[in-house]
Amino acid sequence: MTDLSDTKPDSRRSPVKLFALCGLILFAMAAFVALGIWQIERLSWKLDLIARVDQRIHAEPVAAPEGRNINPAEDEYLRVKATGTLDNSKETFVYTSTELGPGYWVMTPLMLADGNAILINRGFVPSEKRDPKTRAEGQLSGTVTITGLLRPTEPKGSLLQSNDPATGWWYSRDVAAITADKSVAKAEPYFIDADATPNPGGSPVGGLTRVVFPNSHLSYAITWFAMAIMMAGLLVVVIRSELRRR
């Protein structure tokens, strides 16, 4: 009589398959560890950036740079001041949504004494205040000094909508396009977000710059390291299972 136990198939994996499976698990584990370390490095960079920007926005204002390209890493959110005359006839309205609701940024060229210009985001107005006649008191004349935060240009438009100079619809503060549309010569390649100094009549409302840096790097790092631990556990399970089979 034939012993059926002798005909039981061998459930052990071949050495090649076992080696390939373990290699794949080790590769995934190494990749997850590398991603976790990268996120830790990004966390360190983000914390340093937040600290530097916080120092800039609370520092004493310095003269706005003229005649040079700015470096966003070093100049963005720098607290600056500039003196000149606002050309209210060349206002541009950029659609936005703020804590005060939907409306427009009022972008006005500040004409400097040397003939250069700096585009100023004077602040927010709701739709009913878009017409300058509804906020005549805030149309400053004569020499003024604007204090605020230096911001790099925002070319082309928002993520969802592109600027359309032909129809006058703007969705981002594209300095080059706005100053070209308004025939403003010698404009600096950045704009200034005016601070919360009240304007006569209350409009536009400045000081609404959102200085927010998403910082999820620690949670991402924990996730990647947890995945690496899971891969390590899977490797142990595979090896133990194979040892039992043998």
For 74-101, what is each residue's pLDDT tens digit? Answer: 888 999 999 999 999 999 999 999 989 9
- Do residue 113 and residue 188 come from a single domain? yes
- Do residue 130 and residue 28 come from a single domain? no
- Do residue 82 and residue 185 come from a single domain? yes
- Confidence (pLDDT) at 109: 97
Residue 151 maps to a domain:
yes
- Confidence (pLDDT) at 10: 54
Residue 2: half-sphere exposure toward Cβ, Cα within 13 Å: 4
- Do residue 197 and residue 216 come from a single domain? no
CA distances from 56 to 31, 34, 82, 83, 145 (A): 37, 33, 17, 20, 19
Residue ranges making up the domain that contains 158: 78-202
Residue 93 maps to a domain:
yes
- Do residue 31 and residue 142 come from a single domain? no
- Do residue 191 and residue 219 come from a single domain? no
Count of domains in the chain?
A: 2
- Confidence (pLDDT) at 158: 83
Structure tokens that stand for 64 in this block: 């706005």
Residue 144 maps to a domain:
yes
Residues of the chain with pLDDT under 70: 1-13, 246
- Confidence (pLDDT) at 105: 97
- Confidence (pLDDT) at 137: 94
- Confidence (pLDDT) at 96: 95
Residue 71 maps to a domain:
no
Which amino acid is located at 78 in the chain?
Answer: L
- Do residue 85 and residue 126 come from a single domain? yes
pTM, two decimals, is 0.74
Which residues sit opposite 125 in a β-bridge?
104
